Amino acid sequence: MSRVLVTGGAGFIGSHLVDRLVADGHAVTVLDDLSTGRREHVSQEVELVQGSVADRELVDGLFSRGRFDAVLHLAGQASIRISFASPEIDLTTNVLGTINVVRACHDSGVRRLLHASSMTIYGEPARIPTPEDEPCVPVSYYGVTKLAAERYVHIAAEGPDSGLAVTSLRMFNVYGPRQSIANPYQGVLAIFIGNVLRGEPITIHGDGGQTRDFVYVDDVVDAWVRLLDLPASFGRVLNVGSGRETSVNELADSVLRSFGQSRSTWEVRREGAQLGDQRRAAADVSALTALGWHSRCTFEEGLVATTSWAQAAAAS
Ligand code: NAD
């Protein structure tokens, strides 16, 4: 058993990761300010410290209570739209919060840090599927702060005598149960499901030809857990995606179909393209696959699991 800190562990991805770590026998602590995360998604067996990663005193105090064997840093402002509306919040959470976590890892002798990076840091990549050595030119404020955070993590670990082994997981569009269907600012698949469950029209921004790589949350958790103690991943950035490109138009049709609807029975509106909206996204996952990981859930299976969960959650 090891002591693991999960920042953002009350969030969508973080809470699934916490469940897996607990099942694997780790002693887990969660640090989360519950801004988008939910207390009820955190297992009772887990200590939840409510506070912000941007609060240096709180972070230092938590790390000084005894050395964590590993830190999984997922706390973050995860919405592109909010990054433009409130860039200070995005910067403070994603960059200052990460600096605080990295510094506390160093000061308390943590040896292992995994970081939640994002496909948004690629911007408009020349290569699709995109490998990790593609130049990073983010086109959203969110992409800028995620790239800055990733570089803080890796530069800190490369310092002399750092003793800190880091890995960044550049996750593509993660979806699955517990992704908020009520938050209109993040997670296009969950937003569409929420629209249908509330009887609202689906809104597509732009022509709907923009593509995303949807990867099911259990596959993402598999990647985090596989890399936790894997020396071959130390110092590396790794894409986590399905490798499959799906347009937002196709997504809308799939979500409607999963509810027995179609565009002839359901209103699909169009609005202008959103700032920072990337045109195409698909992950080249050969580096992660070479480390033994495989995406196991098809999009069709994942969508059924997600809509079933959302229907039950909306009814309760
Ligand atoms: P989420 O919003 O459900 O999770 C983020 C969690 O961080 C929430 O529990 C929230 O309460 C917490 N948080 C936010 N600000 C905080 C702060 N200042 N201090 C402490 N906790 C704070 O989103 P998610 O989709 O689970 O994303 C988790 C991480 O993965 C984020 O860092 C996000 O940028 C990154 N990511 C997500 C995706 C995706 O498709 N969902 C893709 C790539 C990267």
Q: Residues enclosing ligand 1, CB less than 6 A?
A: 7-8, 10-14, 31-37, 52-54, 74-78, 93, 97, 116, 118, 171, 173-174
Give the pLDDT score at 161: 82
Give the pLDDT score at 1: 67
**149 Cα to the center of ligand 1, angstroms:** 13
pLDDT per position as a tens digit, 220-233: 999 999 999 999 99
Is 142's pLDDT higher than 80?
A: yes
**75 Cα to the center of ligand 1, angstroms:** 5
Mutate to test the pocket of ligand 1, among 40, 42, 174, 239 (most ligand atoms within 8 A of CB): 174
Q: Of all protein residues, whose CA lies closest to atom 17 belonging to ligand 1?
A: 52
Question: How many whole angstroms separate alpha carbon 256 and alpha carbon 202?
Answer: 9
Catalytic residues: 142
Please tell me which residue, 158 or 128, carries the higher pLDDT value.
128
pLDDT per position as a tens digit, 8-51: 999 999 999 999 999 999 999 999 999 999 999 999 989 999 99
pLDDT per position as a tens digit, 162-188: 899 999 999 999 999 999 999 998 899
Is 314's pLDDT higher than 90?
A: no
Give the pLDDT score at 207: 97
Mean pLDDT on 87-115: 97
Q: Of all protein residues, whose CA lies closest to atom 29 belonging to ligand 1?
A: 74
Give the pLDDT score at 315: 85
Give the pLDDT score at 316: 81
**25 Cα to the center of ligand 1, angstroms:** 24
Is 160's pLDDT higher than 90?
A: no
Q: For the chain, give the percent of residues with pLDDT over 90.
A: 95
**74 Cα to the center of ligand 1, angstroms:** 6
Mean pLDDT on 154-160: 90
